[in-house]
Homo-oligomer: A and B are copies of this chain.
Amino acid sequence: MNFKEIIQETYQKVKNIDDNGQLASYIPELANVNSDNFGIHISTIDQINFGQGNCYDKFSIQSISKVLSLCLAYRILGEKIWDRIGVEPSGTAFNSLVQLEVDNGIPRNPFINAGAIVISDILLSNLKNPKEDFLAFVRNISNNSEINYSRKIAESEKSIGFRNVALCNFIKSFGNIDNEPSKVLDFYFDLCSLEMNCKELSELFLFLANNGNTIKNPNSILTKSQSKRVNALLQTCGFYDESGEFAFKVGLPGKSGVGGGIIAIHPNQYVIAVWSPKLNKKGNSYKGVKFLEEFTTKTQLSIF
């Protein structure tokens, strides 16, 4: 059975299960999404592309953008980046503040909010026109000039982002933020507001399945070693407090966002993107995780 058939079959099966998830409600704008949306798209390094369901509808990729900002910062600073940020899973959200205290303001990894805020600070210090340059970086990888920020989502998040303001100022109190917190957060909220569809996501992230190189317009985004390391981080830290379970059940590095999107990467093979807006208790797409479990079980492929 090939990818196409497995995706079609799994799509039908998961589409009809009871969705016990909940729409993300903490950002007002995110709650306005139709919760029935369900899309999948795969892109392989052999140039197979196949989508199903709402795979051409754009949604807010939210935390998935943290992978992109990490890649850009890693590309610029190299291994020096790890002086300011760790590579260990963080345990519960609850631990996040405690561990910042214990670790003197060094976030545990780049995918928790604290870590992504430090990455935003690094980019702010190293890019001439941070917002424009970051967008150019993303558009260039994907060869797609239509990718953009969503003003509405960014504003919605800013209006209630007190916890992120707290985090940023807390880290700054330890000296691990160089710029003004309000500027760092303004940039951070914009990064999180990127909108894409499943097709764009699976194409965009293909460089992580290809040792750091894009395929369509050959271009080295990361070195082979950096690409492997980003995947390792995605494996251990990509799904908040469900990272262990995702590795256990799906067996691929990946990243989720509260908009209901998930990307999963099979090194040397493919990237698959899934979108379904309702989230499970750990904050990851309920149907998205279910789909990927079924998918890797059926393909009998996982990195383990």
Contact = CB atoms under 8 A, between A and B. Distances in A.
From A163, A168, A232, A249, residue with most partner B Cβ within 10 Å: A232
Contact of A90 (B91, B163, B168, B267): B91
A244 B253 contact: no
A118 B216 CA distance: 51
A15 to B, nearest CB: 24
A89 B244 contact: yes
A97 B89 CA distance: 17
B166 A162 contact: no
Count copies of this chain in the complex: 4
A58 to B, nearest CB: 29
Report, as a range, how many residues of chain A touch the other chain: 35 or more
A11 interface: no
Contacts of A98: 94, 97-98
A147 interface: no
Given A99-B91, A224-B300, A244 B86 contact: yes
Nearest to A103: B92
B236 A251 contact: no
A94 B173 CA distance: 14
Contacts of A89: 88-89, 91, 236, 243-244
A262 to B, nearest CB: 17
10 contacts: A88-B243, A91-B108, A108-B244, A165-B165, A166-B166, A166-B168, A232-B248, A237-B244, A267-B303, A267-B304
Given A166-B173, A235-B247, 15 more contacts: A87-B244, A88-B91, A89-B91, A91-B91, A95-B95, A163-B169, A165-B165, A165-B166, A165-B169, A224-B300, A228-B251, A233-B247, A235-B236, A235-B304, A236-B247
Interface of A: 86-92, 94-95, 97-99, 101-102, 108-109, 162-163, 165-170, 172-173, 181, 224-225, 227-229, 231-233, 235-237, 241-245, 247-249, 251, 253, 267, 297, 300, 302-304
